Structure formats: structure tokens, C-alpha cells
Structure 1
Amino acid sequence: MAHIHLGEGSFPLWAVALWTLVGVTLIGIVVYRLRRGGIKTHQIALAGIGAAASFAVFQLNLPVWGGIHMNLTGLVGILAGPALGALIALVVNVFSAALGHGAVGLLGANTLVNATEAIAAYYIFRTLLRMDWDVFPATASAATIGLSAGAVLMGAIIVVSGVNGSALPRADLTVAVAGLVGLNLGVAVVEGILTGFVVQFLASVRPDLLDLIDRERGEEDPAGVAA
């Protein structure tokens, strides 16, 4: 959902280098964890579907206040897991930048923003499930909070970096960015609800894809007799 829609050269060189380094470090940690932990077969299929869906939705941009859109990163993180979700965020941003949707120099910053959304959504979703939340409210809340975290991080990156050629003082830039973040928070709620419906449907027909088999058995046999 959150994405820095600025052109090439918008960030100072130090900021480009900083966010690129942070993004590369994050992806390096993700790849290391995947190599050590492996990938489940069903996660690969979900990752492919999630990447395709995210990329397609990502291109539907509304030219409002610099551009807003959905990107399904919360859904991707919940379905594919945090590590694959972060890699999908990178892939989607690379292909989007190749099409002119986002600057190449901002790949590090945008990947960091979108990977944060996927990672946060996954861990919040699993935490809420462990607290015995139903699938829909757990998913909707996790996706909304994850996307909101990405929106706030996006705003912080812009304010910290500054924008080359902008006549706005830092205080005025912060106010303008706060408005953009607020708009994205509203979109986060909408995308969170849509994500909730999608995951609830998948949980009802293929709980194994979400590793919810044990949860379903527990609901059918609350006394644990079958165990």
C-alpha cells in the first residue's frame, strides 16, 4: 500500500545509499533464514500467486496526493510467510520500477517499506491466532496494522531524507507527508478488510495452506478427545 512515488534524484545521495544499504541488509537476512530453514512446497505456490496478484494490483495507481494504491503486501506476508513476503516485496518493486512505477534509486527504501508491511502482518496475525481470535478479525487487524506501519515508515523515510529541489522547509514537508500518511492509513483499513475476507475464505476451504489444521481440529474437538 505505502510506496514512495518520487522520481529519480529526489533523495540526496546519502539517503539513497543509506536506504539501499538497509534494504540489502534486510534481504540478506531473509535469504540467510530461508537457506537455513527451507521453504515448504505450498509456500512456493502461494508466493507465486501472491507476487502476481500484488504486482497486478500495485499498478492500479490513483493520482491522489502523489499516488495511492493497494499492493496486498499484508496478504502476501500472511500467506507466504515473512521471509518470502519480503522477497516478494523486492520482486514487485523491481518490476514496478522497470515500468516506471517508482524510482530505481528508491528500491531500497520502497522494499524496506513493503517488506515491513508483510513481516508485521504475518507476526501480528499469528499472535492474534494464538490469542484465540477468529480468522477474519485476526487477518483484518494484522493487515491493517502492518500496512499502517509501512505508511508511517514511508513518511519517516521521506522526512528524514528530505526531497531535492523542494522549497518546503522541513516542518512544512513533515505536515505535507503527514497528510499523505493519513490518507494511506485510511486505505490500510480498506485493504485490511479485503485481506480478511480473502484469508477467511482460504481458511474455510484450504486451512492446510495457512497451517490452520491443528486449529480446526481443536475447534471440532475442544476437549482434546480425538488426540
Structure 2
Amino acid sequence: MAHIHLGEGAFPLWALILWTLLGVGLVGAVVYRVRKGGLKTHQIALAGIGAAASFAIFQLNIPVWGGIHMNLTGLVGILAGPLLGTLIALVVNIFSAALGHGAVGLLGANTLVNATEAVVAYYAFKTLMRQDWDVFPASAGAATLGLSAGAFLMGAIIVVSGVNGSALPRGDLAIAVAGLVGLNLGVAVVEGILTGFIVQFLASVRPDLVGLADRGAREESSGVTA
């Protein structure tokens, strides 16, 4: 949901290098973990579906304050997990940049932002489900929390980096970015609710996709139903 829409050359060189190195480091660590742990066939298929869905909705841009949109990274994180969620964020950003949706130089920064959304959503969802939350509020809340984290990180990256050619002092830039972050937080709530409905539906037909197969078995054995 959060995405830095600035064009090429908007960030100073040191910022591009910093965010690119951090992005490469994150992706490198994820690839190492994936290679070490391996992937199952259904995970690869799920990752492909998640990437396609995220990329498709990501291109529906609302031209408000630099552009806002949904990208389902919270849903991707909940379904695919933090590792594949990070790789999906990278792939979606690469394809989007190739179409002119986001600067190529900002791939590192945008991957950090969207990977954060997926990772936070995944762990928040697992935590809430362990506390016996129902599927809808757990997934909606987790997605909203993840997307909010991404929005704050996006704002922090812009303020820390500064914008080349901008006449705004750093303080005024922070105020302007705060408005953008606030707008994205509102969209996060909407996308969080949408994610909640999707996960609730999937949990009713394929609980294994959201890691609830064991929970359903326990409820059936104990006679408890949702």
C-alpha cells in the first residue's frame, strides 16, 4: 500500500546507496533462509498467485498526493509468510518499476517498505490467532498493522533522505510527508478490512492456506465450532 512514487534522481546518491544496500542485505538473508529450509510445491504456487494478485491491484493508482493504491502485501504476508512475502515484494516492485510505476533507483527502499508490511502482518496474524482471536478481526487487524508500519517507514525514508530539488526545508518536508502517511493509514484500514474478508473466506474453504488446519481439527475433536 505504501510506495515511494518519486522519480529517478529524487533521492541523493548516498540515500540511494544506503537503501539499496539494506534492501540487498534483506533479500540476501531471505534467499539464504529459503535455500536452507527449502520450499514445498504448494508454497511456490501460492507465491506465484500472490505476486500476480499484488501486481495487478498495485497498478490501480489513485492520483491523490503523489498516488495511493492497494497492493495486498498484508494478505501476501499472511498467506505466503515473511520469507516469500519479502521476495514477492521485490518481484512486484521490479515489474512495477519496469512499467514506470516507481523509480528503478528506489527498488531497495520500496522493497524494504513493502517487505515490512508483509512481515509485520504475518507475525501479527499469528500472534492474534494464538490469542484465540476470530479469523476476521485477526487478519484485518494484522494487515492494517503491517500496512501502517510500511506507511511510517515510507515517510521516515523520505524525510531522512530528503528530496533533490525540493525548496521545502526539512521540517516542512516532514509535515508534508506526515500528511501523506496519514492518507496511507486511512487506506490501510480499508485494505485491512478487505484482507479480513478474503482470509475469512479462505479459512472457511481452505484453512490449510492460512495455517488453521490444526486449529480446525482441535475444534472438531473438542466439539467446539467457530
Provide TM-score, normalisation by structure 2. 0.97
What count of residue pairs does the alignment treat as equivalent? 224
Matched, 1:185 2:185: yes
Task: Output the CA distance in 2 between the equivalents of 1:42 and 1:80.
Answer: 10
Matched residue of 1:81: which SS? helix
Matches within 5 A, 1:196-215: 196-215=196-215
> Which amino acid counterpart does residue 10 of structure 2 have in structure 1?
S
Whole-angstrom distance in 1 between the partners of 2:38 and 2:128: 25
For 2:152, what is the secondary structure of its paired residue?
helix
| Identity level (%) | 83
Quote how far apart the aligned CAs of 1:13 are.
0.1
Name the structure 1 match of 2:162.
162
Deviation at 1:43, TM superposition (A): 1.5
What root-mean-square deviation, in Å, do the aligned CA atoms of Structure 1 and Structure 2 show? 1.1
Q: Once the 2 structures are TM-superposed, how far is the Cα of residue 211 of structure 1 from its aligned partner?
A: 2.1
Aligned counterpart, 1:49: 49
The Cα of 1:223 is off from its aligned counterpart by 7.3
Amino acid at match of 1:159: V
Q: What is aligned with 1:102?
A: 102
State the AA in 1 paired with 2:118: A
Which residue of structure 2 aligns with residue 26 of structure 1?
Answer: 26
C-alpha contact (below 8 Å) 1:2/1:114 kept by paired residues: yes
**Aligned residue for 1:152?**
152
Which residue of structure 2 aligns with residue 68 of structure 1? 68
Amino acid at match of 1:14: W
Deviation at 1:73, TM superposition (A): 0.4
Deviates more, 1:211-220 or 1:181-190: 211-220
Question: Secondary structure at the residue paired with 1:61?
Answer: coil
Q: Which runs of 4+ in 1 moved over 2 A?
A: 221-224
User: Which residue is 1:59 aligned to?
Assistant: 59
**C-alpha distance in 1 between matches for 2:21 and 2:206:** 39
TM-score (norm 1): 0.97
Determine the C-alpha separation between the residues in 2 that align with 1:41 and 1:127.
26
Secondary structure, aligned partner of 1:221: helix
Letter in structure 1 aligned against 2:5: H
Distance 1:79 1:153 in 2: 22
Give the aligned residue type for 1:177: V
How far apart in 2 are the matches of 1:138 and 1:29? Answer: 28
Distance 1:147 1:98 in 2: 24
**Structure 2: tracts of 5 or more residues without a match:** none
CA deviation map 1:108-131 (0-9, x unaligned): 000000000001100110111111
| Correspondence for 1:4 | 4
- Partner of 2:220 in structure 1? 220
Gaps of 5+ in 1: none
